[in-house]
């Protein structure tokens, strides 16, 4: 799919959500906001609405687009993280952030956009950004006056949302790989923060909920998880909330999750309190491979993966262990057990077959004469294939839909 087609598709999805938002009743205490990460290569049109601080607005508008881009690229190469990179033109929409901040590498961030209790306003802004600046990597925020949430409900909701989203993206990535083998899937599994949710990270979220103090001060990676993250540090005095970090460049996904999350915040996540224990679906620091052959290979994966982190938020955990994610007890997941009996059997069969094939492929890969770098790449492909062949994300979504109907949730 071309980039223009993706943009058009996202705009279409955003527009279809408008009707659902008009009749949505929610507490006036809720606030919604978002931030967007972008790059000059992917979003050159941002220079139609922002300029370099050192050049006057009149001079900037007189420059050809190619010159603007060249000057911006030169300035960015000399900036460090958190420095002001671009400032807004006076003719730009009021809701856009007054400035854009340099992030790491070639990324920049727009993080002072609207704060509103009207999701339709957010929808319109996301549509405008997508149409005029392009697809950006988005994070959303839902905040409320300080509240004592029921910990079990929050943690279950976070874990379920994380797993369904991650598994869907793995399957999508495998489809993209089949069409274009240069697009190696499972990139999040070698990212410094966006790997699968583990027990340590979820425990930190629980500690934050207990104490009201964000535990990222003790473990910085906690607030960079590929999931919905509890935050008590960024919404102002006496406000807490949640950051949505797993929609990336899908604005319609972000809008939908902001609505669902807003509903759960209002209801104290009550619909997720009665879940059975889900610790079997979390990686632990002591999670072991099924045999020594695989374990030794994963031991070699850790330094290879960490070498790409550029010194950011390193953790003293076994990074290769991320590839044991498919070997958790997915066939016994509470949402799988929510399915109709005939569908349960089909789901368990597809998951079991895909998991056995995944393990066999890892064993074969461990014995091949390849570099560790190449083995990591092959493991990423095998991981995405497992998610695709098992159909696990679809099974979990069906189970969630059944639970949603039972509890009148928005699915």
Parallel, antiparallel, or unpaired: how do β-strands 99-102 and 107-110 relate? antiparallel
Q: Which residues of 57-93 are buried (b: 16+ CB within 10 A; e: fewer)?
A: eeebeebeeeebeebbeebbeeeeeeeebbbbeeebe
Continuous segment of H or E residues that includes residue 383: helix 372-390
Strands of the sheet with 50-51, listed across from one edge: 50-51, 84-88, 99-102, 107-110, 31-39, 137-145, 239-248, 228-231
Residues 6+ apart with CB under 8 A from 15: 127
Cα 396 from Cα 401, distance rounded (Å): 9
Instruction: Say which residue the tokens 């990686």 belong to.
Output: 283
Could you count the other beta carbons within 10 Å of the beta carbon of residue 158?
Answer: 24
pLDDT of residue 347: 95
Tokens of 402: 């059944």
pTM of the model: 0.86
Cα 176 from Cα 292, distance rounded (Å): 32
Consecutive 10-residue averages of pLDDT for the chain (411 residues): 81 88 80 94 97 97 97 95 95 95 92 85 95 94 84 90 92 95 93 82 83 53 71 81 89 92 88 82 87 93 78 62 94 90 93 97 96 96 98 91 66 44
CA distance to 166, 314, 403, per residue, from 223 (Å): 17, 14, 28
Task: Compute the residue count for the chain.
Answer: 411
Q: What is the domain partition of the chain in residue ranges?
A: 159-217+277-411
Q: Phi first, then psi: what are they for 391, rounded to 5°?
A: 60, 25
Cα 221 from Cα 84, distance rounded (Å): 24
pLDDT of residue 215: 46
pLDDT, tens digit, 9 for 90 and up, residues 245-299: 888 899 999 999 999 899 889 888 888 888 777 888 898 878 889 999 999 999 9
Give alpha helix (H) positions in 224-279.
Answer: 251-266
Residue 291's region, left for phi above 0, alpha for psi from -120 to 50, else beta, is: beta
- Identify the sign of the CA torsion 350, 354, 355, 360: positive
CA distance to 53, 252, 325, per residue, from 321 (Å): 45, 32, 8
- Which among 82, 96, 90 is positioned nearest to 43, based on CA atoms? 96
370 and 353 in contact (C-beta within 8 Å)? no
Percent of all residues in the chain with a pLDDT value above 70, rounded to a whole number: 92
């Amino acid at each position: 799919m071309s980039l223009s087609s993706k943009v058009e598709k996202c705009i279409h999805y955003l527009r279809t959500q408008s009707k659902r938002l008009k009749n949505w009743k929610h507490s006036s205490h809720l606030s919604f906001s978002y931030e967007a990460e972008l790059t000059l290569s992917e979003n050159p049109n941002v220079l139609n609405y922002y300029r370099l601080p050192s050049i006057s607005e009149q001079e900037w508008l007189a420059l050809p687009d190619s010159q603007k881009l060249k000057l911006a690229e030169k300035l960015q190469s000399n900036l460090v993280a958190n420095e002001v990179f671009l400032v807004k033109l006076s003719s730009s929409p009021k809701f856009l952030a007054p400035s854009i901040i340099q992030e790491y590498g070639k990324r920049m961030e727009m993080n002072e956009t609207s704060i509103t209790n009207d999701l339709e306003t957010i929808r319109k802004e996301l549509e405008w950004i997508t149409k005029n600046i392009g697809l950006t990597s988005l994070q959303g925020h839902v905040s409320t006056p300080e509240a004592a949430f029921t910990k079990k409900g929050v943690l279950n909701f976070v874990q379920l949302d994380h797993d369904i989203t991650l598994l869907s993206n793995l399957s999508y990535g495998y489809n993209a790989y089949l069409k274009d083998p240069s697009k190696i899937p499972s990139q999040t599994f070698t990212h410094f923060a966006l790997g699968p949710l583990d027990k340590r990270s979820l425990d930190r979220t629980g500690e934050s909920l207990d104490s009201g103090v964000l535990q990222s001060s003790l473990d910085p990676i906690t607030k960079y998880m590929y999931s919905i993250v509890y935050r008590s540090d960024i919404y102002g005095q006496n406000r807490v909330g949640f950051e949505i970090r797993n929609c990336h460049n899908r604005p319609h996904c972000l809008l939908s999750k902001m609505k669902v999350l807003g509903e759960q915040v209002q209801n104290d996540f009550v619909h997720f309190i009665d879940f059975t224990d889900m610790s079997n679906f979390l990686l632990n620091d002591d999670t072991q491979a099924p045999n020594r052959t695989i374990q030794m290979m994963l031991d070699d994966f850790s330094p290879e993966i960490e070498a790409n982190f550029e010194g950011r938020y390193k953790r003293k955990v076994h990074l290769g262990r991320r590839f044991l994610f498919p070997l958790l007890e997915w066939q016994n997941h509470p949402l799988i057990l929510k399915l109709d009996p005939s569908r349960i059997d089909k789901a368990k069969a597809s998951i079991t077959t895909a998991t056995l094939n995944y393990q066999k492929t890892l064993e074969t890969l461990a014995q091949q004469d390849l570099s560790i770098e190449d083995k990591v790449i092959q493991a990423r492909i095998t991981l995405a294939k497992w998610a695709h062949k098992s159909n696990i994300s679809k099974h979990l979504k069906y189970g969630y839909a059944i639970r949603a109907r039972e509890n009148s949730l928005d699915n």
